[in-house]
Amino acid sequence: MGWLNRLFGSASGGAGAVAQEPDYFNGPRASVSGSMINITTPEQLEDALRNANMSGSGVPVTETTALKVATVFACLRIRTGAVANTPLGIKRKVDERTRVDAPDQEAWKLLSRRPNKWQTPQQFKRMMEGHVLLRGNAHALKVRGVGGKVIALIPLHPDRVRRSQLDSGELAFTYTRKDGVQTVYPQEDMFYLTGLSLDGINGLSVLHYARETIGVALAMEQHGGTVFRNGANVSGAFKLPKGQTLGSEQKDYLREQLDEYRAGGARDGKVIILEDGLEYEKMALTSEDLQWLDGREFGRVDICMFFGVQPHMIGITAGNTQLGSSIDGQTQNFLTFSLEDSFIAWEEAIGLQLLRWDQFIDLYARFNRNALVRADFKTRWEGYVKAMQWGVFSPNRVLEFEDENPRPGGDIYYDPPNTAGNAKDNSNVAP
């Protein structure tokens, strides 16, 4: 039986069974329909009671329902995309001043070429980061080949993995397959990421702590859909002079005329004839309507706070002054206080869990932060020019960053302005 069968189970349990594709989201879970939970088995009842997914607004909040909120989906897409699309490399420290790429390392092959048989590195990093953001934890089983080398990383859904700490201080990971069979894996066989944690073992689930905020957003969406479906809000009304009424035939004629007017786009921009003293009065939004719209806006900002995303990045710009800071300043805040947190978590986890301890001093993982300005041509080239002016980069180094071929004589480093002839090389001077 192959390792996929042992990990995820097989279709029949007999010899020669074919490995099934991992099913991360199916299991004895109660299905959600609207604001109701459909429970048909004792296992689903136990799951509903154990997970307590119901919010105070009466709407269940799970990873499926939460992603129906546009703000949640947008925040998750931005945070996971930033990590997944930033190049991640393994570096080797040659000496105190020299760093080179280490593509010969198994960690580089896993994270830059092929983490497993069905995912690209971008897909793998996006999925793992999504697990951390939603559930606080992410797990991938290490599959070892000849000589104990890690040849694949198999992502496991965090809801199926339970962490525990042994007396030795190491962690143990109990994975529950879809057939209910549990397998315990030692810490050395698991690549894992942990978000904000209070006990140092389990990360805090954003879905859990943002359940009420997301639940309110879902409830308001459902309320708005019901209002529009039932036509509870009218755009205008017809009125007659005081003491005058319409007969049944007049009402039927007016109704037919309105139905014809609303029948299709062919009548758009046309007018209707009002008889018998009828006047049309346009209805404005009520204070309740305005309060409902304001509540939706506040809920969107609150969700952004849970995910560490600047509101303007998902299209919220009205009233978003952020103490007078500019949009560029807010974007930099996102890179510094949110994205950098994810980068450091990945780099340290890779260094501790995927790089060999006897080589840890010389090897380390590093995201290429320079790639974050790839789409900003002006900013990128202004930085290159300054780096060349001050002798930090050579022209060929700039071409290397741009994935272009070097040019003859391009390895020269220019003297910084106003320092020509005055610079000294102190690299060989003893301290």
Average pLDDT over residues 88-113: 86
Tell me whether strands 36-38 and 88-93 are parallel, antiparallel or unpaired. Answer: unpaired
Least Cα distance to 208 among 341, 50, 26 occurs for: 50
The enclosing H or E element of 227 equals: helix 211-230
Instruction: Tell me whether residue 299 is exposed, middle or buried, using C-beta atoms within 10 angstroms of its C-beta: 0 to 12, 13 to 18, 19 or more.
Output: buried
> In whole numbers, what is the pLDDT of the chain averaged over residues?
74
Give residue 39's pLDDT.
61
Q: Would you say 309 and 78 are in contact if contact means Cβ atoms under 8 Å apart?
A: yes
Which pLDDT band, with edges at 50, 70 and 90, does 51 fall under? Answer: low
Q: Would you say 195 and 132 are in contact if contact means Cβ atoms under 8 Å apart?
A: yes
Q: Residues 119-133: pLDDT tens digits?
A: 999 999 999 999 999
Which pLDDT band, with edges at 50, 70 and 90, does 84 fall under? Answer: very high
Q: What is the distance between the alpha carbons of residues 201 and 194, in angstroms, rounded to a whole number? A: 8
Helices 211-230, 287-307: crossing angle, 10 deg rounding:
150
Return the percentage of the chain with pLDDT > 90, whole number: 24
Tokens of 357: 């301890």
Which pLDDT band, with edges at 50, 70 and 90, does 416 fall under? Answer: confident
Give residue 194's pLDDT.
94
409 - beta bridge partners? Answer: none
The residue ranges of DSSP E strands in 195-265, in sequence order, are 236-239
Domain ranges of the chain: 30-232+286-375, 236-282, 376-423
Give residue 118's pLDDT.
95
Instruction: Tell me whether residue 392 is exposed, middle or buried, using C-beta atoms within 10 angstroms of its C-beta: 0 to 12, 13 to 18, 19 or more.
Output: middle
3-state secondary structure of 412: coil
Tokens of 217: 């957003």
Q: Give the type of residue at 389.
A: Q
Q: Would you say 139 and 183 are in contact if contact means Cβ atoms under 8 Å apart?
A: no
Query: Is a pLDDT exceeding 70 seen at residue 286?
Result: no
Instruction: Give residue for tokens 């793998």.
Output: 124
The DSSP code sequence of 118-135 is S--HHHHHHHHHHHHHHH
Sequence length of the chain is 431
Query: Is a pLDDT exceeding 60 seen at residue 429?
Result: no
Q: Would you say 267 and 261 are in contact if contact means Cβ atoms under 8 Å apart?
A: yes
Which pLDDT band, with edges at 50, 70 and 90, does 15 fall under? Answer: very low
Give residue 53's pLDDT.
62
Tokens of 308: 């560490």
Query: Is a pLDDT exceeding 80 seen at residue 372?
Result: no
Give residue 71's pLDDT.
86
Average pLDDT over residues 88-102: 83
Q: What is the distance between the alpha carbons of residues 350 and 356, in angstroms, rounded to a whole number? A: 10
Q: Would you say 101 and 89 are in contact if contact means Cβ atoms under 8 Å apart?
A: yes
- Through-space distance between the first and last CA atoms of the chain, rounded to whole angstroms: 62
Contacts of 39 (CB under 8 A, 6+ apart): 30, 45, 48
Query: Is a pLDDT exceeding 70 seen at residue 276?
Result: no
Q: Would you say 90 and 363 are in contact if contact means Cβ atoms under 8 Å apart?
A: yes
Query: Is a pLDDT exceeding 90 seen at residue 305?
Result: no
Give residue 397's pLDDT.
84
Tokens of 369: 């932060």
